[in-house]
């Protein structure tokens, strides 16, 4: 069975790939608005853990809308959620049996409710799977440690391909770096460098 997994090169989506590998032909798929080349980090991480990779193009209008929302809110949550939903709708159009993402039980954003999951499945005739949604942060960290070689550091310095980088670039271009700093609080990111097992 063919499965398209929304993939950032980070530890959560990498662990999701490893979990699903037992049952599906997993392809790691990274959405990009064409604003930066950050998707290449995900391509490299997918190769390092041994999964096929595909870049898909997302709708630039959604990036603009999400950036405006983030600036209006003063925090990124709702904008990230909007982009994640758009990315799921986009991969659901692919000719696959299932789509998946790396969202965890303890994630505040992005989230996909049971009703949203059912709606995605019904409209696109595809299974939506969030394989980590039954795992808490501690369990994920232990499994990642046992499975991958991981690099950790501040968001700006760790190469990764979540939507954040492109939205930062878009906001910087249109509103300057100070606005980026206003919207995105400092936090650590992780990037998968290879397998341990």
Among 56, 143, 158, 172, binds a copy of itself (CB under 8 A): 143
Q: Which of 134, 178, 185, 186 binds a copy of itself (CB under 8 A)?
A: 134
Show the site string, 18-57: x = touches a copy of itself by CB under 8 A, - = not: xx-xxx----------------------------------
* Cα 179 to Cα 71: distance, rounded to the nearest angstrom: 7
159 and 9 in contact (C-beta within 8 Å)? yes
Per CB under 8 A, 105 contacts a copy of itself: yes
Task: For residue 27, give Cα distances in angstroms to 6, 89, 148, 188.
Answer: 9, 16, 18, 26
Out of 1, 47, 72, 109, the residue judged to bind a copy of itself by CB under 8 A: 1
Structure tokens at 82: 């909007």
Q: What are phi and psi of 115, to 5 degrees?
A: -65, -40
Sign of torsion over alpha carbons 168, 173, 177, 181:
negative
Q: Does residue number 85 form part of the binding site for a copy of itself (CB under 8 A)?
A: no
CB of 131 to a copy of itself, least distance (A): 5
Under the rule (CB under 8 A), what is the footprint of a copy of itself?
A: 1, 18-19, 21-23, 97-98, 103, 105-106, 114, 117-118, 121, 127-136, 138-139, 142-143, 146-147
């Amino acid at each position: 069975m063919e499965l398209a997994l929304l993939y950032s090169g980070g530890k959560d989506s990498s662990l999701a790939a490893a979990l699903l590998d037992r049952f599906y032909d997993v392809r790691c798929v990274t959405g990009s608005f064409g604003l930066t080349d950050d998707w290449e980090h995900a391509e490299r991480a997918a190769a390092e853990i041994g999964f096929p990779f595909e870049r898909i193009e997302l709708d630039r209008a959604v990036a603009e809308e999400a950036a405006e929302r983030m600036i209006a809110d003063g925090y990124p949550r709702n904008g990230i959620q909007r982009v994640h939903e758009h990315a799921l709708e986009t991969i659901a159009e692919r000719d696959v049996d299932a789509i998946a993402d790396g969202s965890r039980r303890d994630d505040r954003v992005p989230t996909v409710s049971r009703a949203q999951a059912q709606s995605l499945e019904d409209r696109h005739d595809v299974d939506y799977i969030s394989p980590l949604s039954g795992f808490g942060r501690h369990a994920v960290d232990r499994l990642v440690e046992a499975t991958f070689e991981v690099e950790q550091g501040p968001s700006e310095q760790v190469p990764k391909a979540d939507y954040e980088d492109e939205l930062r670039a878009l906001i910087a271009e249109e509103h300057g770096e100070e606005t980026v700093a206003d919207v995105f609080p400092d936090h650590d990111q992780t990037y998968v460098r290879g397998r341990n097992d």
